[in-house]
Amino acid sequence: MEFVDKMDLENERVLKLIFPDGVPDNLRGNPELDNYLGKLGTYKVEQLKKEQARLADETKSILEQTQDLAISNYKTFITTAENSRSIFNEFRKTEEQVGTLIGKLPEFSGKCEHFLKDSAELNEQRRLNSITLQRNAQLLEILELPQLMERCIREGRYEEALELAAYVQNLGQHQGHISVVNSIVHAVEALWHTMLVQLVAQLRSDLQLPKCLQIVGYLRRMQAFGDNELKLKFLQARDSWLTSCLEAIPTADAQQHLTKTIEITRINLFNIITQYRAIFPEEEAAAKVTSGALRPLQGVSCNGDRLFQAWLHNKINAFLETLEKDLQRGVGSIETVLGQCMYFGLSFSRVGADFRALMAPIFVGVVQRKFVASIEQVNEQFEEELERFTLINKVTLHSRKQVDAATLSASEHESFAPPETLLDFYPLAALCNGYLNALNELRLCAPLALATDVTHCLQQSLQLVAQRVLAFYRQEQQAFTGNERESFVKLCSCLAYDLVPYVQRCIHGVFPPQSLTLHLGTSLLQLEQQQLTYLQQPRILEPLKHLLPTKVLVQPQPAQAAVLEPKPSANLPVAAEG
């Protein structure tokens, strides 16, 4: 290393001697310069002195050779220069194009990547299309599931429709991310709702128990309703059908409408109750367990234990409203309707819904209103007849028998033939006929609950008759002759001693005291003391007491009354003549 360093130092000294102004830039780092310096180091002094002349000669020789070469090969140099310039231009263009290419390489690379990606997607789609083509039959079966379910629903094959819906639901749970499968699931769900509507609509038609069980079974499998909701839907649908049947009955004739309503309600309502209890038997068991300890309803929640009872109560109330309306409109035969209604209520005792007690007040009210209306009409007719009645040249053809009630024979007391003396006075005969017609209509359907009301109505009517007779006397008394006054006294006596007792006997014919005592648990004596079914004759005759002939009214003793009471009306027809 020291030797090399010394050589470098010597070379630098030599170079300073050769190039006092410094080594030219073109010779720095040239290895031939080092070699030449090394060669100079081997020269002797004589050789060094000649070296400059040798170099000048060599330079001149090289220059001459160069000139000769240039002269002899100037075309070559020109061509070389042109080629160099051309090559330089080409290299410059190439450099520009390479720069442009380098600038566009990222875009090209991006497009190549996009092309590769599209190619991969196309390959994947081609692969999927190939798989789709291979499994075309299976795919068609899946795609046709909505049409198949629709056909099953249209043809009523609900069992198969439910199986298809379950399969599609399971398919959607596992393959719901596939758009086609998702659309199939939505289509089947829409058809599922259609089937639900059809099943509920079928419950609104005339169905037998097996069909009801089948439809409710389908609804349970669909799980569209809870237990209480299903009960409510079933009752609503069956109620809608029952209502449509009742609305189809013609309402022109009240008797026909009521008869048809009773028949349709009895048959169909009993069928609905049977169907409900067969479909929901668990409610019956729960009702037996929780009887007497029903929990109160909270809020508006549906309580299944009380839903059916509330619905049945509502239907019975609706029937009672129809019954009352038709009876008020007027029916031809109340006793026939009563028999049908009692049979209706009795038949429902088999299902624990005997409602005969609810119908009794309705019939009692209707019968009462009908009887009161008949008596009011009789009163109006009596007033009209009394206005046309005259005592001029009046001849009485029948005479009263002056006998007491205590001396009447049993056959005479039991007779319901009107007194013949009424034939002498037409207003009283017409009044008696009106009373008999009203009582005859009542006798066909005579509730014992109306005994007091009927007696009170006749009491008021007879009081009104007595007042009208008194008004007739006050109007005509100044013009009375002796015969006319005697005839008027006979008229008053006929009213007081014939008509009033006869009406009393007819009341007991319609409402036998024995029947009343049996139902009330009292005796005949108590019945008479309380004036039950007994007319208050003194009160009736109060306006006419000063016009009646002096007579001691013989009232039967309680013991005699027990003997002289008429038998039940079943064997005693009430009739009137004249």
Asked if pLDDT for residue 163 goes beyond 80, the answer is yes
pLDDT band per the 50, 70, 90 thresholds, residue 396:
low
Together in a domain, 195 and 248: no
Return the amino acid letter for 256: Q
Asked if pLDDT for residue 219 goes beyond 80, the answer is yes
CA distance linking residue 430 with residue 229, whole number of Å: 65
Q: Compare 560 and 411 and report the one with higher pLDDT.
A: 411
Per residue, the 3-state secondary structure of 328-341, as one string, reads: HHCCCCHHHHHHHH
226 is a domain residue = no
Averaged pLDDT, 462-466: 90
211 is a domain residue = no
Together in a domain, 334 and 433: no
CA distance linking residue 424 with residue 430, whole number of Å: 11
Together in a domain, 528 and 387: yes
Averaged pLDDT, 494-512: 88
**What per-residue confidence (pLDDT) applies to 282?**
66
pLDDT band per the 50, 70, 90 thresholds, residue 405:
very low
Tokens standing for residue 535: 């007319």
Together in a domain, 337 and 371: no
Q: Which of 295, 329, 354 is the last residue of a domain?
A: 354
**What per-residue confidence (pLDDT) applies to 409?**
41
Query: Quick one: what percent of the chain has pLDDT higher than 70?
Result: 85
**What per-residue confidence (pLDDT) applies to 179?**
80
CA distance linking residue 498 with residue 422, whole number of Å: 8
Averaged pLDDT, 250-261: 87
Averaged pLDDT, 253-280: 88
**What per-residue confidence (pLDDT) applies to 291?**
44
Together in a domain, 252 and 164: no
Asked if pLDDT for residue 540 goes beyond 70, the answer is yes
DSSP at 497: I
Averaged pLDDT, 471-489: 81
How much is the mean pLDDT over the chain? 79
Asked if pLDDT for residue 460 goes beyond 80, the answer is yes
Q: Compare 348 and 405 and report the one with higher pLDDT.
A: 348
DSSP string, 43-107: --HHHHHHHHHHHHHHHHHHHHHHHHHHHHTHHHHHHHHHHHHHHHHHHHHHHHHHHHHHHHHHH
Asked if pLDDT for residue 413 goes beyond 60, the answer is no
Note the pLDDT tens digit of each residue in 24-41: 777 777 777 777 777 777
The residues near 429 (Cβ < 8 Å, ≥ 6 apart) are: 418, 422, 423, 578
Together in a domain, 377 and 320: no
The CA-based angle 326-327-332, given to 5 degrees, is: 100
CA distance linking residue 133 with residue 309, whole number of Å: 62
Winning range, highest mean pLDDT, from 29-43, 45-59, 191-205: 191-205
Q: Which of 180, 202, 224 is the last residue of a domain?
A: 202
Together in a domain, 264 and 181: no
pLDDT band per the 50, 70, 90 thresholds, residue 487:
confident
Note the pLDDT tens digit of each residue in 112-134: 988 998 888 899 888 888 887 88
250 is a domain residue = yes
293 is a domain residue = no
Instruction: Please give the tally of structural domains in the chain.
Output: 3
The residues near 36 (Cβ < 8 Å, ≥ 6 apart) are: none
Together in a domain, 158 and 254: no
Tokens standing for residue 486: 């005697």
Together in a domain, 343 and 367: no
13 is a domain residue = no
**What per-residue confidence (pLDDT) applies to 574?**
38
A 10 A CB-CB count for 399 gives: 10
Q: Which of 566, 555, 567, 502 shows the shortest CA–CA distance to 531?
A: 555
CA distance linking residue 261 with residue 419, whole number of Å: 45
Instruction: Kindly calculate the radius of gyration of the chain based on its CA atoms and give it in whole angstroms.
Output: 65
**What per-residue confidence (pLDDT) applies to 333?**
78
422 is a domain residue = yes
Asked if pLDDT for residue 238 goes beyond 80, the answer is yes
Together in a domain, 565 and 419: yes
Task: Kindly report which listed range (149-158, 222-231, 411-420) carries the lowest average pLDDT score.
Answer: 411-420
**What per-residue confidence (pLDDT) applies to 414?**
55
Asked if pLDDT for residue 375 goes beyond 60, the answer is yes
Averaged pLDDT, 261-283: 86
Residue 170 domain boundaries? 140-202
46 is a domain residue = no
Return the amino acid letter for 170: N
**What per-residue confidence (pLDDT) applies to 403?**
44
**What per-residue confidence (pLDDT) applies to 395?**
54
pLDDT band per the 50, 70, 90 thresholds, residue 554:
very low
Together in a domain, 345 and 372: no
169 is a domain residue = yes
Q: Is 12 helix (H, G, I), strand (E, B) or coil?
A: helix
Q: Compare 45 and 239 and report the one with higher pLDDT.
A: 239
Together in a domain, 346 and 371: no
Asked if pLDDT for residue 433 goes beyond 70, the answer is yes
